[in-house]
Amino acid sequence: MRIADLLKFAWQVVRGYRTRTLLILLAMGIGVAAVVAVTSLGEGARLYIVNQFGSLGTNLVIVLPGRSETAGAMPGVLVGKTPRDLTLDDALALKRSHAVRHIAPLVIGAADVHVGARVRETPVLGSTAELVDIRSMEVALGRFLPEADPRQILPVCVIGAKVAAELFGAKPALGEWLRIGDRRFRVIGIMARQGESLGFNTDEIVIVPLAAAQALFNTEALFRVLVEAKSREQTLYAKADVEEFIRLRHEGERDVTVITQDAVLATFDRILRALTLAVAGIAAISLAVAGILIMNVMLIAVTQRRQEIGLLKALGATGAQIRAAFLTEAVLLSSGGAAVGLAVGQLVRYAAVQLYPAIPFQAPWWALLAAPATAVITAVLFTLAPARRAARLDPVQALSRR
């Protein structure tokens, strides 16, 4: 039998039992669609987080006060202060490194912001003008913190869009005065709406000059220092320089943790990839169930089509040809199911994109290949036993009805 004949033969069978074919397509389709849909959700979440991290800035090196000896502890767990503060002078010293382009020291805390009789507790961030270069933040109105000596206490602030709306209502906020704790600040800029990014909402914060925040919270200690390396290759040099500079400034004591954006990103990336793979594996169990169904249906078909098989064999068809006929049928059914599944999976992806436009849902290429491939391979594997049974039928007995 030629391949064309095989295909035609299988096609006739597939068309002949229409309900059965539809149901098998349904079963295979559900399996493939599940894998495609689930992986596109997982991949979407991964890309979303990676993008969010990218939007924090590029080639970032982050300096945290304190260090833990226990390996594997999340750096974020390190809260609290150290006996020897990480100071503004430490941060400024980092600028001497050749690998460093910008630095932005950060002091963060919660404070009451007053405008007239309105009070609101908001996160207050103390930093320098360079923060806007490091983090891709946009000022909607006015300007960001002025370039000045970071040790100087300037009574100016930049506020988030939501803070502006809640404290000033419809009135223009630019140029107005507000009170934070016991100090007065003039609003010189309003941030553009950016929304939540990794639990840090720029719409809801007030940014003041670093020295002002230090005075406000009565502390010398910096919360973090953001360092931007000159290029991606330079991040490792920047990290080494930061560690060395601060060790020297702290009398040989290694009391800071330095992490690179790339390292954190790589960790997240690995975790989310593994999760997507695990979930895809769970969804793929349904493909095995669909395979069992194909085996079952094929076994029934072998019994039902005894006479036909007997006739074929009597006409000279070999066992191998009978096997090939059944396997072709299985491939046709499963690839049909896979096509249906891919289409439905893409529909689900499309629906998800409509619901959450912010998250870039898309099935990873490996899932688009692996899902149909698994479907076809399972189908063929599960058809091997029925096909062999058909091939072994004795033509005489098969033709002599029971």
Partner 1 sequence: MLFPDFVRFTYASLSAHRLRTVLTALGIAVGIAAVILLTSIGEGLHRFVIAEFTQFGTNIIGVAPGRIQTHGASLGAVNTVRPLTIDDAMALRHAPYVQVSDPLVQGNADVKYTGRSRRVTLYGVGPDFAHALKMRVASGEFLPQEDPRSARAFAVLGSKVARELYGGANPLGSRIRVGGERYRVIGVMQSKGQILGFDLDDTVFIPVARALEMFNRESLVEIHVVYDPTAPVAEVEAGIKRILVARHGAEDFTVTPQQKMLDVFGTVLNAITFAVAAIGGISLVVGGVGILTILTIAVAERTSEIGLLRALGATQRRILLLFLGEAALLAAVGGVAGLLLGWAIALALRLGLPALPVHTPWSYAVLAELVAVVVGLAAGVMPARRAASLDPLEALRSE
User: At closest approach, how far in Å is the CB of 187 from partner 1?
Assistant: 19
- Residues 157-196, one symbol each (x = binds partner 1 by CB under 8 A, - = not), give -----------------------xxx--------------
Scanning 7-15, 121-129, 310-318, 344-352 for contacts with partner 1 by CB under 8 A, the matching segment is 121-129
Selected from 30, 272, 331, 380, the binder of partner 1 by CB under 8 A is: 30
Selected from 2, 3, 16, 199, the binder of partner 1 by CB under 8 A is: 199
- 274, amino acid identity: A
Residue 240 CA from chain centroid, whole number = 29
Q: Which lies closer to partner 1 via its Cβ, residue 42 or residue 234? A: 42
CA 45 – CA 39 distance, rounded (Å): 10
The pair of structure tokens assigned to 20 is: 């059965």
Q: Is 127 helix (H, G, I), strand (E, B) or coil?
A: strand
CA 373 – CA 133 distance, rounded (Å): 47
Selected from 168, 185, 217, 361, the binder of partner 1 by CB under 8 A is: 217
CA 37 – CA 363 distance, rounded (Å): 7
CA 254 – CA 14 distance, rounded (Å): 72
Q: At what angle do helices 306-314 and 319-355 cross, to 10 degrees?
A: 130
Residues binding partner 1: number (CB under 8 A)? 70
Q: Provide the 8-state DSSP code for 367.
A: H
200 part of the interface to partner 1, by CB under 8 A? yes
Selected from 6, 208, 216, 391, the binder of partner 1 by CB under 8 A is: 216
| Contact assessment for residue 259 and residue 64, using Cβ atoms and an 8 Å cutoff | yes
Among 169, 113, 173, 167, CA closest to 141: 173
- Residues 289-328, one symbol each (x = binds partner 1 by CB under 8 A, - = not), give xx-xx-xxx-xx---x------------------------
Q: Which residues bind partner 1 (CB under 8 A)?
A: 19-20, 23-24, 26-27, 30-31, 34, 38, 65-70, 72-74, 76-85, 107-112, 121-123, 180-182, 199-200, 213, 216-221, 223, 253-255, 279, 282-283, 285-286, 288-290, 292-293, 295-297, 299-300, 304
